[in-house]
Amino acid sequence: MRVLMISKALVAGIYQRKLEGIAAQDVDLLALTPPEWRDERGVQPLERAYTNGYRLETLPIWLNGSYHLHVYPTLARQMRAFRPHIVHIDEEPYNLASWAALAAAKRVGAQTLFFTWQNICRAYPIPFRWGERWMLREVRQAIAGTESAAQVLRDKGYTGDVAVIAQFGIDPDLFRPAEARPDRPFTVGCAARLVPEKGVDLLLRAVARMDGVTAVRIIGGGPQRQELEALAGSLSLGARVTFVEQVPSMAMPGQYHQFDVLAAPSRTTPTWKEQFGPRAGVEAMASGVPVVGSDSGAIPGVVGEGGLIVPEGDVEALTVALCRLRDDAALRAEIGRRGRARALTHYTHEQVARATVAVYQSMLD
């Protein structure tokens, strides 16, 4: 079968491993992605990391960085040249890029599917509401990242088939526990966009309440960077906190080896709740690093026995959980082992690829 996938997420090389797994299952795969993607963290250029067995090509993008309005002007032409059986639209159904891809797929007679993380049932303003209704009416197959996202589709009246599959997995050979722990202070890591909903300010307040020496390593960019640096100074954390700009995805495995714990203290807002844990949580678990996460959205279901869950917004509970793991090395090691086992059982690229190809086959059958 010939499958064309459109995904801006594929600029991150770490996610391309899934595509090799898909292509290995007798799929003629063409993956299209922009040469870069821009968001509040900065510019993420395309990384070519895993490209065996399929074609990874770039296509021009208009309104780069506009989540709802970006579009690929040459997509229809590339689709006509490839003549796919299936077009995999790795976009939410309320985005302009999705509508344009569906229209182009219809013209070449291809079947389509879309992906969704949206786990809050929201009514979008016109014209996004109209476009979403059209997608939900015309596309008979969807992939949802979580059960809650699948339920949102049903609540909106979607009657097509929905498969629940994580968008991307992890490579267990790349994300693996460190062979030895260097001599350094207990270090709490955080890999996230620096925006209020990620709760990094809560992490800083929790660490400020911990006795003894605890270091914090925050990886990522975003509009809250200066505010968080100022907060760290006002809490007298000083040199204990290190801010690291967003690093290439293929460099992330080494970053987890510098963490003793990964913190994911996300907070729910009226328009957003955590959609997958975040993804750093699965990478940390595969690296043998326990996670301390809030109960926002999908975090508890993704982390499972691979970490400790605290009420979102509760600085005291976050402090207690971090202290517990800091002071009990045996517990930290045990949760780290359970987390890696969970990541290998549920979240590898190979598992995601097999489940995705099963969806493709069911569409053609």
For each of the domains in the chain, give its residue range(s) and CATH number, in order of start: 2-169+348-364 (3.40.50.2000), 186-346 (3.40.50.2000)
Asked if 43 and 36 touch (Cβ cutoff 8 Å), the reply is yes
Q: Phi and psi dihedrals of 291, rounded to 5?
A: -110, 135
Alpha-carbon distance of 245 to 41, in angstroms, equals 8
298 has a pLDDT exceeding 80: yes
Question: Would you state the pLDDT for residue 168?
Answer: 80
For residue 5 the two structure tokens come to 């996938």
Question: Would you state the pLDDT for residue 277?
Answer: 67
Alpha-carbon distance of 16 to 168, in angstroms, equals 9
Confidence of residue 353 (pLDDT cuts 50, 70, 90): very high
C-alpha angle 320/321/325, rounded to 5°? 115
Q: Which residue in this structure is represented by tokens 């595509």?
A: 19
Alpha-carbon distance of 272 to 278, in angstroms, equals 13
Instruction: Kindly list the distances between the CA atom of residue 131 and the CA atoms of 8, 50, 124, 343, in Å, as whole numbers in the listed order.
Output: 20, 34, 10, 36
For residue 354 the two structure tokens come to 């097999």
Nearest one of 238, 239, 261, 240 to 191, comparing CA atoms: 261
E strands, 7-50, in order: 28-33, 36-39, 42-45
- The percentage of residues in the chain with a pLDDT greater than 90, rounded to a whole number, is 90
pTM: 0.90
Query: What is the overall mean pLDDT for the chain?
Result: 95
